[in-house]
């Protein structure tokens, strides 16, 4: 039986964020955390951000600090080729 992969986001008073479905942390600092999740890449903006729990085997992340925004990032493919690959008219 194939179970659909789900994610869950729980934000408590803009100070604690709990996430399920996390696959990887792509980058982080005290102002931004960029994650790969089962639902796509997610950017979290804020201040004084700290990862307080991380378990990639279970896909869990707990983040504390002041959370200003959560944004799913749409990946667009860049056009391949350069100057010489363009069709000449």
2 lies in some domain = no
> What's the CATH number where 62 sits?
2.60.40.2000
1 lies in some domain = no
Q: What domain count does the chain have?
A: 1
User: What integer pLDDT is reported at residue 48 of this predicted model?
Assistant: 98
85 lies in some domain = no
How much is the pTM? Answer: 0.77
84 lies in some domain = no
50 lies in some domain = yes
Give the pLDDT means over successive 10-residue stretches in the chain (89 positions). 69 97 96 96 97 96 97 74 55
Going by C-alpha positions, the residue among 60, 34, 59 that lies closest to residue 45 is 34
44 lies in some domain = yes
User: What integer pLDDT is reported at residue 6 of this predicted model?
Assistant: 79
d(CA 80, CA 11): 39
What is the span of the domain harbouring residue 44? 8-75
User: What integer pLDDT is reported at residue 80 of this predicted model?
Assistant: 59
């Amino acid at each position: 039986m194939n179970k659909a992969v789900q994610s869950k986001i729980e934000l408590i008073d803009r100070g604690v964020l709990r996430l399920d479905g996390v696959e990887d942390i792509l980058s982080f600092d005290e102002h931004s955390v960029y994650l790969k999740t089962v639902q796509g890449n997610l950017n979290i903006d804020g201040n004084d951000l700290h990862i307080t729990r991380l378990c990639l085997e279970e896909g869990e992340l707990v983040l504390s600090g002041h959370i200003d925004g959560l944004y799913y990032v749409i990946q667009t493919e860049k056009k391949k080729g350069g100057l010489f690959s363009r069709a000449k008219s």
